[in-house]
Amino acid sequence: MENRFYDEKNGLWYEKQGDYYLPCISLPEEENEPIGVWGQRHLRYLKQHRKVLYTNLLTSGKLNSHLAELNKQAEDMFFRVVKQLAEKEGVTEKLKAENQMEWVDRMNNIRNRATEIVNADLIYA
């Protein structure tokens, strides 16, 4: 037999590798979009805890776009929650001008809480 042939039953090409004929398959092309810290956290979560979903997204060519979209949603949610908590707790530019260390302490606290909210609602959900 030749080194490469087409099987009309399943519509695949096969190529001889050693003594075996293996199907010539490849993953679909995927658009490379930048993925930020939120997308990377979600990727790690998918690989460790949601292996079937990770594999399905990877083989369908939708993993990168899924992570990029989730990253955008997480960033938007994070900044919105930080702004809302800062307004609710009275952390303003006036406080920043008067007492910088107090402002930094309170903003760090707000950012940490916002990170936990985003992680719970989007990244690890």
Give the model confidence (pLDDT) of 36-90 as tens digits: 999 999 999 999 999 999 999 998 889 999 999 999 999 999 999 999 999 999 9
- Both 53 and 85 in one domain: the answer is yes
Give residue 1's pLDDT band: very low, low, confident or very high (50, 70, 90).
low
Domain limits for position 16: 1-30
Q: What is the pLDDT of residues 81-118, one digit of tens each?
A: 999 999 999 999 999 999 999 999 999 999 999 999 99
- Both 67 and 115 in one domain: the answer is yes
- Both 58 and 89 in one domain: the answer is yes
- Both 59 and 112 in one domain: the answer is yes
- Both 92 and 40 in one domain: the answer is yes
Q: What is the pLDDT of residue 93?
A: 94
Distance CA 42, CA 32 (A): 17
Nearest CA among 90, 86, 94 for reference residue 114: 86
Greatest pairwise CA separation for the chain in angstroms:
84
Nearest CA among 114, 113, 106, 105 for reference residue 89: 106
